[in-house]
Structure 1
């Protein structure tokens, strides 16, 4: 039997006086009815113990249980998706290793460390005066310089009008586009855009304006100027969390790893409360092009 080990996140526990229970990856408990099967033998099989050196099995392959009831239980675990082979962890493909990072060093530094550990090759744009408008932002040709596989832009503040307009065109040139920004105590990790038709920053601004009755106030807040007191600090734990979320999205895009739960990364806005480090997810869709108004006839 090639599948014998429990998948990651699934565990079996012996409950005093009640037999075995399975804890799912979602944290739910299910009763395991073993009937006359040997519980110790079942636990040994599910842990992968005894998978080596058994007669009639290959290396890394668990021996088939001799007891018919035991075989039935193991097959039930496999049919329910709780058993699996152990594939090697996906490696970051060479064609997607070059990741260009722009923006606040407080965010790009931990992000670069995460990406390097995962197998990517991040390169951070040299320090320069921060872009504050579309006029001072890198143009599309600048963003495409060096043929990056992805561009990530991190802002420790709101997004000025038009700043990301050029970057929104990156997916049309085969370059993945990921970004985050902060508005006071709230930070936003926007959906990764990897192909034409994915959610851009302009789509997200339009969706947020449409979703709030305070759309005039929000638009004015983005445009500035803004008056504030003591600046909101971006703490080391908060920056590390934002960097980890970005790195995970990039790793799943690069390796093709699935999203185990929740919304897909390309249709998900994440809002991070920087006071509590609480993350909430919100679905977001692209904004379709508006058809031109038909011409009026006299």
Structure 2
């Protein structure tokens, strides 16, 4: 008798034979007529001749192990949130698209490298077409340098249109992940920057540096990219499945130093924009 291979271990203990499932749960086999050596063979997917009692016992074991194995698998990505648009100009984070696709998301990637010197018309058209034609539920911008301010200010309206908006940019070795924006109660990219300036002891210098846009791009290591990628994957999963931790991701900016590999979190809350002057 052979069955599909489901990973589990057979252990002979003082309490009798037990099975350890792939998720670390131990199941005691009380009164099983199958010898341990045959269970090992079955666990390895090999053919074993069993009598009627052995077959019935093995079916119960296999059913229990299979149920736990399938329950332990990653849940199916929700269809209403399946489409994710990634704008990536950070090579160390290029793997995020494939990682999200492996989790079940329908991912489209754009590489608009021209947006950093100037907001070229071709990049704007490409992004606009992707938003219109692909109709993403989540837009992730992975900027390898300073954020393209004009474009980000425009994309800050995405949450008002029911599209989640996740922003990442890098300032030398410092990488910033903004809070995830889902609606008007979440901080925009402009508000995050204003909060940073308000909290900075060198606000004048920071503002001047950002205005001058003299950021010199440096390569980020693959290890740093993987560490940041895990944070972004968890944020996307929390959004897709409405997990409890999503509340935290909507109110915390995350700073990561790509050289020291150390991270810190900073609370950022949205605030009502002042009315324009008459």
Does the alignment reach a TM-score above 0.5?
yes
What is the number of equivalent residue pairs in this alignment?
A: 225
Q: Which runs of 5+ in 1 are unaligned?
A: 1-39, 61-85
| Residue 130 (str. 1) matches residue 115 (str. 2) | yes
1:131–1:163 CA contact under 8 A, matched in 2: no
Counterparts of 1:91-106 in structure 2, within 5 Å, are 91-106=76-91
CA distance 1:292–1:138, shift in 2 (3 Å): closer
Which residue number corresponds to residue 144 of structure 1? 131
Which residue number corresponds to residue 191 of structure 2? 203
CA distance 1:131–1:162, shift in 2 (3 Å): same
1:11-44 Cα distance to aligned partner (Å, 9 max, x none): xxxxxxxxxxxxxxxxxxxxxxxxxxxxx8xxx9
Please give the alpha-carbon distance, in whole angstroms, between the structure 2 residues aligned to 1:48 and 1:176.
Answer: 41
Q: Secondary structure at the match of 1:117?
A: helix
Counterparts of 1:51-130 in structure 2, within 5 Å, are 89-126=74-111, 129-130=114-115
Which residue number corresponds to residue 275 of structure 1? 259
Please give the alpha-carbon distance, in whole angstroms, between the structure 2 residues aligned to 1:211 and 1:217.
Answer: 13
Which residue number corresponds to residue 157 of structure 1? 145
CA distance 1:134–1:127, shift in 2 (3 Å): closer
1:49-105 Cα distance to aligned partner (Å, 9 max, x none): 338889xxxx86xxxxxxxxxxxxxxxxxxxxxxxxx77643211121111111315
| Residue 251 (str. 1) matches residue 241 (str. 2) | no
Q: Please report the RMSD computed on the Cα atoms of aligned residues, expressed in angstroms.
A: 3.5
Please give the alpha-carbon distance, in whole angstroms, between the structure 1 residues aligned to 2:211 and 2:75.
Answer: 42
Q: Which runs of 5+ in 2 are unaligned?
A: 1-14, 33-62, 65-70
Please give the alpha-carbon distance, in whole angstroms, between the structure 2 residues aligned to 1:169 and 1:208.
Answer: 21
Which residue number corresponds to residue 49 of structure 1? 27
Q: Secondary structure at the match of 1:182?
A: strand
| Residue 190 (str. 1) matches residue 168 (str. 2) | no
2:172–2:215 CA contact under 8 A, matched in 1: no
CA distance 1:276–1:258, shift in 2 (3 Å): same
CA distance 1:148–1:95, shift in 2 (3 Å): same
Question: How far is the alpha carbon of 1:128 from its aligned partner?
Answer: 5.1
Which residue number corresponds to residue 265 of structure 1? 249
CA distance 1:197–1:142, shift in 2 (3 Å): farther
Per the normalisation by structure 2, the TM-score is 0.68
Q: Which is richer in helix? A: 2
